Structure 1
Amino acid sequence: MSSVQEVLAVLADAGFEPLPKPLTVVGTEFDFEAAVSGTKTSHDLVLIATDQMPRKRLQRLVAGLARSLDLAASRRPVSLVLIGGVAATDRVELERHARLLPILSAAPSIAEIEQAVSVLLPLKLPNADRPNESNPIDEVMTALGSQDATSDHRALIEAASGGPDAVREALRRYLNEGTGWTDKAGADR
């Protein structure tokens, strides 16, 4: 599988759809090695090019595409995945028209591709409903080194989910109980 196909596979797994080649915008054809468009949460137009394409030609293609998209009143952000690295002078010109996502290696691994295009990929969040994960309060107690916590300790930590005011109120009640004060006596002081 070529590096362009591997990039396409990573983007397809993230919900991007391949576009026909050559890419046609407002009647003008743009011959990138590949292009995909985002669906669902991403609306990006992602162009894929390798270091085999002459840089001046690539710059003209990207600039021309940007102008064509402006004419079409497109609001799609354009990203360019460039496989094989890019010189600093070329980078400046390309970044004028597209978000540049360089992959330094000409034969990148899947991890390198995923890292380069990570801004286009959906976030992978841990599942909060995992049954085998421990209770967050127990984790806090472990971190504090208080595994034999009393119900008072637990009440103060549980109050944290209600914010600083809830913690102050829980602490006030705890101190009042310990000193034998009532709310009325605490208010007089």
Structure 2
Amino acid sequence: MSSVQDVVSVLERAGFERLPKPLTVVGTEFDFEAAARGTKTSHDLVLVATDDVPGRRLQRLVAGLARSLDLAESRRPVSLVLLGNIAATNRSELERYARVLPIVTPTPSTQEITDALAVLLPLNLTPTELLHGSDPINEVMAVLGPLKATSDRIALVRAASGGADAVREVLRRYANEGAGWQEEGWNGDD
């Protein structure tokens, strides 16, 4: 499988849709090695180009595509995956029209491709419990230690799972008790 196909495969696994070749926008054809569009969380139009395309031709292709997308009133951001070693002057000109994601290795591994395309790919997060193996509230209680884990502190930490309002309510009750207030008002001598 070619490096271009490897890039497209990584994009497809992330929910991108491969576009037909040549890419046609507003009746104009653009002959990139490959193109894909985001279908879920990403709305990017991703173009893939190699060193096989001369730098000046690639600049004209990307600039022309940008103009065509403007005519079509497209809101899709454009990302250009460059496979191979392209001159820095060409790259800076390309960055006027697209986010450039270079992959310098001629035959990159899947991990190198994934790393280069990371800004386009969804994050794979795992729940905190899986990462740390315990409930965050229990971790706070462990840090407090048994001597500092008074009933008031335990109530406050447990309220954290209910959100900011629950914590405020526990703090309000704690302060009222300390001041001698009951829910109806002052409990002390005037």
- TM-score range with shorter-chain normalisation? 0.7 to 0.9
- Evaluate the alpha carbon distance shift between residue 50 and residue 187 of structure 1 in structure 2; reply closer, same or farther with a 3 A threshold: farther
Provide, for residues 104-154 of structure 1, a one-character-per-residue CA deviation record: whole Å limited to 9, x for no partner.
Answer: 322222222112211211222324686x94222111223x25156343321
Q: Is the 8 A contact 1:159 1:170 kept in 2?
A: no
User: Deviation per CA, 1:62-83, whole angstroms, max 9, x where unpaired?
Assistant: 0111112222222221110112
2:175 equivalent among 167, 172, 178: 172
Decide whether the 8 Å contact of 1:155 with 1:170 is kept in 2. Answer: no
Which segments of 5 or more consecutive residues in structure 2 lack a partner in the other structure?
Answer: none
Distance 2:188 2:86 in 1: 70
Aligned to 1:66: 66
For the 8 Å contact 2:152–2:174, the answer to whether it is kept is no
Q: Does 1:20 find its partner at 2:25?
A: no
Aligned with 1:101: secondary structure? Answer: strand
1:167 Cα deviation from its structure 2 partner:
5.9
Distance (whole Å) between structure 1 residues aligned to residue 128 and residue 31 of structure 2: 45
Q: How has the CA–CA distance of structure 1 residues 4 and 40 changed in structure 2, closer, same or farther, with 3 Å as cutoff?
A: same
Deviation per CA, 1:141-180: give whole Å up to 9, x if none.
23x251563433211222343267346425425x72xx9x
Q: In 2, Cα distance between the equivalents of 1:86 and 1:146?
A: 58
| Corresponding letter in the other structure for 2:64 | G
- SS where residue 46 of structure 1 aligns? strand
Matched residue, 1:103 = 103
Alignment-derived partner of residue 44 in structure 1:
44
* Structure 2 residue identity aligned to 1:105: T
| Residues 1:134 and 2:134 are matched in the alignment | yes
Structure 1 segments, 4+ long, off by >6 Å, are none
1:29 counterpart letter in structure 2: E
| Gap change, CA 1:170 and 1:182, over 3 Å in 2 | closer
Aligned pairs, how many?
182
Tell me the SS of whatever aligns to 2:145. coil
- The residue that corresponds to 2:53 in the other structure is 53
Identify the residue that residue 162 of structure 1 maps to in structure 2: 164
Please give the alpha-carbon distance, in whole angstroms, between the structure 2 residues aligned to 1:170 and 1:53: 71
Contact conserved, 2:155 with 2:170, CA < 8 A, in 1? no
RMSD between aligned alpha carbons?
A: 2.8
Instruction: Label 1:100 to 1:168 Cα distance change in 2 as closer, same or farther (>3 A).
Output: same
Stretches of structure 1 lacking an aligned partner (at least 5 in a row) = none
Alignment partners' CA distance in 1, 2:189 and 2:26: 74
